[in-house]
Structure 1
Amino acid sequence: MPHPPFERVSLLQNVRPWGGAAVDIRIADGVITALEPPADPGAEATDGQGLLALPGLVNAHAHVDKSWWGLPWQSYGGEGGTDGRIRHERARRDELGIPGLEITAAVLGELVRHGTTAIRTHVDVDLGLGLRGIEVVREAVAAYGGAITVEIVAFPQDGVLRRPGVVDLLWDAARSGVEHIGGLDPASIDRDPVGQLDALFAIADDYGVGIDIHLHDPAELGAFQFDLIIDRTQALGLRGKVNVAHGFALAQVDASRRRDLLQAMGDLDITMTSVAPLRLPQLPLHELDEAEVRLGLGTDGIRDLWSPYGTGDLLGIAWQYARASSLVRDEDLLRVMELATSSAGRFAGLGTNDLAVGDRADIVLVDAENPMDALVRTPQRELVLGAGRVLFQR
């Protein structure tokens, strides 16, 4: 759906990057060109009113193609568990027009107004949809004219091997230019972890796309699949191209097993993403950082046929991760804010995502004293810039 032209900002005055001293930020061609001492307000300037400035939030695990946002309330139905939710979604998505351009645009709008300017989204690819969902997401993103950054994962939500023809669709998706291909619980969904992973890694090796695998399987069953992923990443030289989403098993195995897995992942730059699930132990921040395993945060699906929960606020997910991890010290709260912003740029294809000269002018203003205050209060977003354009203003 088309958007009106977004107002361009060339000078954002009187803001406090990361809670530091007030500065004026100059922007040209969507990039930060200077940070200067505050000057008298100019007629062409945008007044930041002394607000806290943060880099744009990065949603590293979204499903923008499969919400019922904007439709009448949909009561939770069907069976629980991954396979039960898949069946329920397949039974009702056509009735609700999922995926659809208006719904996808509405979901993107919710993410953006909460300060998200960069997204990695999983988009369903299956025998019923083909690649139609990818086309819908691309059209919805194009309406922003480059003001947001979005990478697509072709996601086989219904399994890879158990539905003959899905592997061919993933090859087609790679040929179509998606940045990543996905997988789903190679052991418990396809019941052939070696077969699923061999198929995915063959596509990645041939086309140079990334791999982003949903791995919900618990404890040692999940850890075994981490081993298989690590082995294939190393054998094919795919360092820095593989991500494991959820990865609950990592927090469930004993400390020694976890240390060995994290060390191997850090050596191969295998990343992780989390949606900070409330009922499960959180991925351990300090251990991931020590092993140099990068972590991104995501909203997962919001208001979809899996769950009625979700607002699209990535800062709320960061709060949830910090609170559920019992993080209270300033340095840890600041680190979680970095996970949601500056250190997560690579999950959406950004080299950097900060508030320095040369960075994209993706900037979020909030009324908060410092980043820690912003995290624990999750205040409303006052202004959201994407590549120097006003995407939202309260």
Structure 2
Amino acid sequence: MVKENSGFSRRKFLCQVGKIGGASAVLGATGAMDLFLPENASANAEKDINLNTKKPDKNSSYMLLNVRLESGYKYENGLVAATETVLRNLHIVNGKIIRILDTNAQYNKNLECYNAKGMLLLPSFRDMHIHLDKTYYGGPWKAAHTRKNGIFDMIALEQTLLLELLPTAQERAEKLIELILSYGSTYVRSHCNIDPVVGLKNLENLKKALINYSDKISHEIVAFPQHGLLRSNVEGLMREAMKLGVTHVGGLDPTLVDGNMEKSLNTMVQIAADYNAGIDIHLHEGGETGIKAIRLLADLTEQAGLQGKVTISHAFSLASLSSGEDVEMADRLASLGISIASSVPIGKSVMPIPLLLERKVNVMLGNDSITDHWDPFGIGDTLQKAHLAAQLYGWKNEYNLSRAISLATGGITPLNESGKQIWPKAGDEATAVLVPASCSAEAVARLPKRTAVLHKGALASGVLETI
């Protein structure tokens, strides 16, 4: 992606974001979403839908008719000016798209049929950094906690707060799952507190919640030592968590919180190696301290053979790299398959997401906190994070907006860089979102309502009209 306006005004951007956040606070997540319905799409799409009790499940065989698919780019003077689309009928069997047909082609009329009514089909979204196990969502409104001593105030607060939240942890996790599903996310990587206060109880509740929604959402779980891996002496608990099916070993600010970067990172990597697991560390530390941690983690990743299995969440220190150093670091991360998970933060320093993408680093987006003691602003919409990235980095034209959808989908795009259709294809999972928009670029810019969300062929959220 190419930054289109190097003179982009941060003040203007913050004003725009303030309008979004203000609308979310006043209207709630669903009401705020309606502000971004595309002007040329039906803002009342669901009002016209026949709420038939039938809905496809993972074992269904059915036709999804009149689906809008992107088919290519339209060029003017050598530049992408628009996105072309076609209407198609999809035959879905046992969670997979087995045929993509012209709308005038014959199909078995005895199959269950659902009408997409010309809505655009997009790959479903992936929330790759969220905390489902601790949230105020689903309960009374409460703003974030006031901090005077940074993260240490929050660790102290959690000594009592986690126990207060524990009785409703599963219920609130399930409501949060329903929220992100309604925004089109069918894959989630949730960090889960492993600490001396609740032990493995948050993990137990989170696993129950995810099992209850296993037909609607796929997941990964990070065992997260929120109070410090060394500081809270939880290596034993972390190892117990790995035995319970956790997919990733977490960590937290090895210098600032644990006070021993080398020992903290080595312990984290050793646990991952012992259990053949991935790594996803919270690294908030900025400047040289954070850079040293990233460089050491890269070396340990290579030594332990964990290429392609390591994620650095936040990685704020990357914003402090000088020209030349940033390219060198990005190339090192890309060569080892180390991913960066970001919530597209707004602050004094701007994360170098465009450079990371240019150098082929895998950048993933997540909502992080959703209405909890850390942050009151998260609304649960991964597409909105791609929208914020487009605003922040000046991705305003058709091509750049259409490529930005990849940040929300885990890299899947309907068209490749040259405009050839690559998704969906026969044999692909029917894991997708129907939206009232004309193309990916419009969806990123305008944030249309997610009318229907499919997970492996099953209706995970929203509604489909039967025929």
Q: 1:305 to 1:287 in 2, by over 3 A?
A: same
Q: Could you say if the C-alpha distance between residues 250 and 192 of structure 1 is closer, same or farther in structure 2, counting changes exceeding 3 Å?
A: same
Other-structure match for 2:416: none
Alpha-carbon shift at residue 363 of structure 1 (Å): 1.1
Question: Are the equivalent residues in 1 in contact too, given 2:215–2:458 (CA < 8 A)?
Answer: no
Report the CA distance between 1:128 and its aligned residue.
Answer: 1.5
> What pairs with 1:55-94 in structure 2 (closer than 5 Å)?
55-80=123-148, 81-94=150-163
Q: Secondary structure at the match of 1:122?
A: strand
After the TM superposition, which residues 101-112 of structure 1 pair with which residues of structure 2 at under 5 Å, given as runs? 101-112=170-181
Task: Say whether residues 1:231 and 2:280 are aligned partners.
Answer: no
Distance 2:410 2:250 in 1: 24
Q: Equivalent residue for 2:75? A: none
Residue in 2 that maps onto 1:373: 442
Distance 1:209 1:98 in 2: 29
Distance in 1 (alpha carbons) for counterparts of 2:268 and 2:344: 26
Give, in angstroms, the shift of residue 119 of structure 1: 0.7
Counterpart contact for 1:201–1:232, Cα < 8 Å: yes
- AA paired with 1:163? S
Amino acid paired to 1:130: G
Q: Is the 8 A contact 1:363 1:386 kept in 2?
A: yes
**Residue in 2 that maps onto 1:182:** 250
Q: Distance in 2 between matches of 1:356 and 1:383?
A: 20
Q: Which residue of 1 aligns with 2:196?
A: 127
Q: 2: CA distance between counterparts of 1:367 and 1:315?
A: 14
Taking the TM superposition and a 5 Å limit, the aligned residue runs for 1:353-364 are 355-364=424-433
* Closer/same/farther in 2, CA of residues 248 and 100 from structure 1, 3 Å limit: same
Counterpart of 2:411 in 1: which secondary structure? Answer: helix
Q: Where does residue 348 of structure 1 map in the other structure?
A: none
1:149 and 1:5 mapped to 2: Cα distance?
Answer: 23
In the TM superposition, residue 298 of structure 1 has moved relative to its aligned partner by 0.4
With normalisation by structure 2, the TM-score equals 0.78
The alpha-carbon deviation at position 342 of structure 1 amounts to: 4.7
Shift of 1:285: 3.5
| Equivalent residue pairs, number | 383
Give the structure 1 partner of residue 65 of structure 2: 13
Q: Is residue 365–residue 407 contact of structure 2 (8 Å, CA) maintained in 1?
A: yes
CA offsets, 1:151-201, max 9 Å, x none? 10111111100112x111111112222110101111111111111100011
Larger deviation, residues 173-182 vs 5-14: 5-14
Structure 1: state its 5+ residue gaps: 346-352
Aligned counterpart in structure 2 of residue 155 of structure 1, from 203, 211, 224:
224
User: Quick one: structure 1 residues 294 and 376, their matched pair in 2 at CA, closer, same or farther if it must change by over 3 Å?
Assistant: same
What percent of counterpart residues are identical?
Answer: 32
SS in 2 for 1:255: coil
- Alpha-carbon shift at residue 266 of structure 1 (Å): 0.8
CA RMSD after TM alignment = 2.1
Aligned AA (2:427): G
Mapped to 2, the partners of 1:298 and 1:378 lie a distance apart of 16
- Output the CA distance in 2 between the equivalents of 1:86 and 1:324: 31
Asked if the contact 1:58–1:314 (Cα under 8 Å) also holds between the matched residues in 2, the reply is yes
Deviations 1:273-330 (A, max 9, x none): 1001111444334321232210010000101111221111111111112212222232
Residue 405 of structure 2 corresponds to which residue in structure 1? Answer: 337
Question: What is the match of residue 316 of structure 1?
Answer: 384
State the match for 1:215 in structure 2: 283
Q: Secondary structure at the match of 1:49?
A: coil
1:43-100 C-alpha deviation (Å, 9 max, x unpaired): 7211000001101111111111111111111233342522222322333232233661
Q: Which residue of 2 aligns with 1:350?
A: none
Look up the equivalent residue of 1:237 and give its one-letter code: G
1:196 lines up with 2:261 in the alignment: no
C-alpha separation in 1, matches of 2:160 and 2:425: 48
Contact 2:432 2:454 in 1 (8 A): yes
Could you tell me which amino acid in structure 1 is paired with residue 158 of structure 2?
Answer: E
2:91 maps to 26
CA distance in 1 between counterparts of 2:404 and 2:455 reads 22
TM-score by length of 1: 0.92
Matches of 1:248 and 1:344 in 2, distance apart?
A: 26
C-alpha displacement of 1:389? 1.0
Deviation at 1:116, TM superposition (A): 0.6
CA distance in 2, matches of 1:251, 1:217: 11
2:369 to 277, 301, 304: 301
Task: Specify the alignment match of 2:345 in structure 1.
Answer: 277
* Counterparts in 2 of 1:342 and 1:187: CA distance versus 1, 3 Å: closer
Q: What is the CA-CA distance between 1:125 and the residue it aligns to? A: 0.7
Asked whether the equivalents of residues 143 and 371 of structure 2 are also in contact (C-alpha less than 8 Å), the reply is: no
Determine the structure 1 residue equivalent to 2:313.
245
Q: Indicate conservation of the 8 Å contact 1:66/1:99, yes or no.
A: no
In structure 2, relative to structure 1, the CA distance for the partners of 1:342 and 1:192 (3 Å cut) is closer
Q: Which has the larger radius of gyration?
A: 2
Q: Cα deviations across residues 21-41 of structure 1 (Å, max 9, x unaligned)?
A: 111122111122222112489
| Cα pair 1:55 1:342 within 8 Å, conserved | no
SS in 2 for 1:59: strand
Contact 2:144/2:372 (8 A) holds in 1? no
Deviation at 1:5, TM superposition (A): 10
